[in-house]
Amino acid sequence: MDTNRRTVLKAGAAAAAMGAPHVARAQTKPARQVRFVPHGDLRVLDPIWTTANMSAYHGAMIYDTLFGVDVNMRPQPQMVQTHTVSDNRLTHTFVLRDGLKWHDGTPVTARDCVASIRRWQAKDGAGQHLFERVTDTPVVDDRTFRIVLKEPYGLVLDALAKTSTPLCFMMKAEIAATDPGTQITKHIGSGPFRFVEGEYRPGSRVVYERNPDYVPRGEPASGIAGGKRVLLDRVVWDIIPDAQTAASALMSGEIEFFEVPPIDILPALGAAPGVKIEVFNQLGNVGYCRLNHLHPPFNNVLARRAAQLAISQEDFLRAAIGNAQYYKTCGSNFTCGSPMGVEDGAEVLMMGAPMAQRQARARQLLKEAGYNNEPIVVLHATDIHIMNQAALVIAQNLRQVGMNVQLAASDWGGVVTRRSNQNPPAQGGWNVFFTWGGGNATSSPINLFGHAATGRKAWFGWPENARHEQLRNEWAAAADVAARRKVAQAMNRNMLEYVHDVKLGQWVAPVAYRSDRIRGLLPVPEVVPFWNVERFA
Amino acid sequence: MIAYVIRRLLATIPVMAIVGVFVFLLLHLAPGDPAAIIAGDNATEENIAAIRTRLGLDRPLIEQFGSWVWAIAHGDLGVSMFSNLPVTTLVLQRAQPTISLTVTTLLVAVTIAITIGVLAAWKAGTLVDRVVMGFAVLGFSVPVFVVGYLLVYVFALQLRWLPVQGYVPIEQGLWPWARNLILPSLALGLAYVALIARITRASMLEVLAEDYIRTAHAKGVATVPVLLRHALKNAAVPIVTVIGIGVALLISGVVITESVFNIPGVGRLVVDAIARRDYPIIQGVMILFAGVYVLVNLCVDIVYTFLDPRIRY
């Protein structure tokens, strides 16, 4: 065979072409990286300053907690090595694990922890409830501090371990000294991952890398407790606002984990090779219809009871969630399926009765309330599917029993603003709005601010009920789960009587991930942990 | 000409000022409280009030406006209420993807549109003309996001030739950069192909009926030089005008395209900011968009003088 320039070039091109796949394979050898599409954008990097869930996710990546709840929602030590309580149950002593370090290499001290707890409690409902009973938080030595109470309190560890926002994250003392109303500007934690600030692109990308100094506990990971073994070098959060695009990216392998795929896309995702659909957060979400207790007609308990009967959980769930596999009706104010998920008193909801019967009773109650056809303003967020459906269903349900409903349409930002207005509806206020919360947070009468019934100081809707507040205090003081459950039964009955708000059922949000590439995802309500997660292909 | 350019540049100042006043008033008078959004769902009224004070949102509107104008006059677009990052930094982070998408879309659209527009005019009344015009109607009628999803389905999910989403900076290689822009540019460019092709055809048809074109043919000039050198150049003024308008329209088009293809551009930055009422970002980007719009129009006016020597300023 003649060898000339052309044949040499051809041979070279052929060799290059043959070699190319090998090069490509070498480059695509599983990097220890996971690309994750969360439900929203990380806008605020201070998980105490805001109660936004995305900030809590960020916090769980880079900060650690003194305690964490396990898969059974029981508090377990995390940064703490030993915890002791004095005989009179007034002094809790905490000793930190040895060898804990901040990301800048300095040791974690008891002083840091006390400063962090104090900043957290200023912003957190459970923390404030705890600190109403705290007299002092002395630092004993570098690894030991105390919380001293004026009366026994059963929820000290629960408050420190909770996963509902804001979590009690530990920060360096000088950072935790930042006024709680001001955002922190340094993001140094002691958690399993470090925040890569140089690659942070708000609205687009957040990057974390493994913290090589992190020493996990010896126990297996469970909930946000146990050993946080870091098996990844990098975790990249891709903020993809369009759900269809995120689903396509998962199917094509451009991402590994999609947190909240819409229910209607699930069949297509489930059929894609290598993609697995799974429900991690079994407590899911709870829908709330908040009634404004300050103004007519819902300042009258009879009108509230009428609304409670008129609004159908089933109608809402069918319209907003659609697939019955993922939703259920519930007569508890504390999340069905949770330890406090009692349904005592739920017979007033007449959930088993035909809708016509419930509506007849609602009309009667409305008449007794003296309802005079005054307009009922329902806040209607049109830019979020569930919110939009909820407002339309609630409006129709209320109209069906004779209420004069006016939908006030805006985007969610508009609803968030207007819902805080305590003026009468005609002066910029409102009568009804819908939102939802995590089932885990809802399960605790203390952790969820929405459970307070302290009038104008309570959450939007401003319910006021002295007995409810007394029961909440009893619940917090109860020594164990059984005792708390007993109080919860009374509380649920009372809440349904005075109609704290109208619950709209529960639903779960499945996640979708590439089971042909990653494993070890942990089922934790309200936080997405990346420790224990392994990239194997 | 230089005096004209200077005059036009100076005229941008009142334009920007008017835009600034409108944007500021619209934002601040429209319902929405960034403090409530920042605070999150479990926040107390005290938390929200504290954040409002911290952000200066409890100050009189005129005072807030004055501070903003003073900062703008010093080249400071402000700081995002949420991320605490300067608006300038955020815009610069997002500028390259948007400029890349805009430029590639214009290149794709202008190249295809002028070619098929000239072809349709040359073959007016034939099947080729009807096909081109039918394509133009389709391009106008189908929304960008539908075209985008269809392109993703075919080229990314079925054929696996191109990525579904994302943006790769040009510094990481020309092909990776271009690869991620092919589908978005096609999706976004379709409407502009339709728009420019129709104008090209109409303008060309007018010019092709002129005496000097007949003369050129009579002299024996070949068809292609007649079409490109004699006809297209004289038909170019309305085409350039439409391209100029197209650039302005692209500003709104990129918003949807950036969302569908997950391109972290300025369009998405401003849409996200509107959803959460991040006033400094919205105000800053609107001022920049207004500036770009004015400059594009200025460029179009200057290009006229090159295309038609009769136009003088």
Residue B44: pLDDT band with limits 50, 70, 90: confident
pLDDT in tens, B264-282: 999 999 988 988 889 999 9
Q: Residue A30: its pLDDT value, please?
A: 55
Task: Give φ, ψ of A245 to 5 degrees.
Answer: -65, -45
Q: Out of B31, B83, B152, name the one closest to residue A417 (CB).
A: B31
Residue B54: pLDDT band with limits 50, 70, 90: confident
Chain A touched by B234 (CB under 8 Å):
no
Q: Residue B66: its pLDDT value, please?
A: 92
Structure tokens at A124: 């957190």
Separation between Cα atoms, residue A438 and residue B71, nearest integer Å: 41
The secondary structure element, H or E, covering residue A57 is helix A53-62
Which residues from chain B sit within 8 angstroms of residue A243, using beta carbons?
none
Task: Give φ, ψ of B187 to 5 degrees.
Answer: -65, -45
Chain A touched by B157 (CB under 8 Å):
yes
Which residues from chain A sit within 8 angstroms of residue B42, using beta carbons?
51, 125, 164-166, 441, 448-450, 459
Q: Which residue has the higher pLDDT, A19 or B182?
A: B182
Nearest to A403 by CA among A286, A287, A506, A300: A300
The whole-number average pLDDT for the span B217-235 is 91
Q: What is the ipTM of this complex?
A: 0.83
pLDDT in tens, A153-197: 999 999 999 998 899 999 999 999 999 888 899 999 999 999 999
Contact A417 B32 (CB under 8 A): yes
DSSP for A112-164, written as a single string = HHHHHHHHHHTT-HHHHHHHTTEEE--EEETTEEEEEESS--TTHHHHHH--S
Which residues from chain A sit within 8 angstroms of residue B80, using beta carbons?
202
Contact B44 A457 (CB under 8 A): yes
Residue A169 three-state SS:
strand
Q: Residue B27: its pLDDT value, please?
A: 87
Question: What is the rounded average pLDDT for all residues in chain B?
Answer: 89
The secondary structure element, H or E, covering residue A271 is helix A266-271
In B, minimum Cα distance to A446 occurs at: B42
Q: Residue B64: its pLDDT value, please?
A: 92
Chain A touched by B159 (CB under 8 Å):
no
Which residues from chain A sit within 8 angstroms of residue B87, using beta carbons?
none
Interface test with B, best of A39, A168, A204, A423 (most B CBs within 10 A): A204
Chain A touched by B93 (CB under 8 Å):
yes
CA distances in angstroms from A115 to A68, A75, A137, A251, listed in the order given: 19, 21, 9, 45
The secondary structure element, H or E, covering residue A94 is strand A91-96
Q: Out of A238, A240, A437, name the one closest to residue B41 (CB).
A: A437
Q: Out of A55, A242, A252, name the one closest to residue B260 (CB).
A: A242
The whole-number average pLDDT for the span B220-235 is 90
Burial degree of B64 (CB within 10 A; 0-12, 13-18, 19+): middle
The answer to whether the CB of A47 falls within 8 A of the CB of A58 is: yes
Shortest CA gap A496–chain B (Å): 22
Chain A touched by B261 (CB under 8 Å):
yes
Nearest to A320 by CA among A284, A283, A287: A287
The answer to whether the CB of A168 falls within 8 A of the CB of A131 is: no
Q: Residue A444: its pLDDT value, please?
A: 93
pLDDT in tens, B197-208: 999 999 999 999
Separation between Cα atoms, residue A185 and residue B294, nearest integer Å: 38
Shortest CA gap B150–chain A (Å): 12
Nearest to B277 by CA among B46, B44, B50, B29: B29
The whole-number average pLDDT for the span B130-154 is 91
How would you classify the pairing of strands A257-258 and A33-37? parallel
List own/partner pairs for A291-294 with CB under 8 A and 24 or more apart. A291/A431, A291/A432, A291/A461, A291/A499, A291/A501, A291/A502, A292/A425, A292/A429, A292/A430, A292/A431, A292/A432, A292/A461, A292/A462, A293/A455, A293/A461, A293/A462, A293/A463, A293/A464, A294/A422, A294/A429, A294/A456, A294/A462
Which residues from chain A sit within 8 angstroms of residue B38, using beta carbons?
43-44, 49-50, 52
What residues of chain A score a pLDDT lower than 50? 1-28
Contact A123 B47 (CB under 8 A): yes
DSSP for chain B, written as a single string = -HHHHHHHHHHHHHHHHHHHHHHHHHHHHSS--HHHHHH-TT--HHHHHHHHHHHTTTS-HHHHHHHHHHHHHTT---B-TTT--BHHHHHHHHHHHHHHHHHHHHHHHHHHHHHHHHHHHHTTTSHHHHHHHHHHHHHHHS-HHHHHHHHIIIIIIIS--S-SS----GGG-HHHHHHHHHHHHHHHHHHHHHHHHHHHHHHHHHHHTSHHHHHHHHHT--HHHIIIIIIIHHHHHHHHHHHHHHHHHHHHHHHHHHHHTT---HHHHHHHHHHHT-HHHHHHHHHHHHHHHHHHHHHHHHHHHHH-TT---
- pLDDT > 90? residue B212: yes
Contact B42 A202 (CB under 8 A): no
Q: Residue A14: its pLDDT value, please?
A: 42
Interface test with B, best of A45, A46, A50 (most B CBs within 10 A): A50
Task: Give φ, ψ of A216 to 5 degrees.
Answer: -75, 160
In A, minimum Cα distance to B271 occurs at: A203
Q: Residue B40: its pLDDT value, please?
A: 74
Which residues from chain B sit within 8 angstroms of residue A182, using beta carbons?
54
Shortest CA gap B197–chain A (Å): 30
Contact A125 B44 (CB under 8 A): yes
Nearest to B260 by CA among B128, B143, B121: B143
Which residues from chain B sit within 8 angstroms of residue A417, using beta carbons?
31-33, 36
Contact A43 B41 (CB under 8 A): no
Q: Out of B42, B94, B269, name the one closest to residue A51 (CB).
A: B42
Chain A touched by B89 (CB under 8 Å):
no
CA distances in angstroms from A414 to A54, A409, B276, listed in the order given: 20, 9, 9
Interface test with B, best of A44, A49, A416 (most B CBs within 10 A): A416
The secondary structure element, H or E, covering residue A38 is none
Measured torsion, CA atoms of residues A486, A490, A496, A498, in degrees rounded to the nearest 10? -150
Which residues from chain B sit within 8 angstroms of residue A427, using beta carbons?
none
Q: Out of B45, B54, B260, name the one closest to residue A181 (CB).
A: B54
Burial degree of B95 (CB within 10 A; 0-12, 13-18, 19+): middle
A-B Cβ pairs (cutoff 8 Å, strict):
139
Q: Which residue has the higher pLDDT, B44 or A96?
A: A96
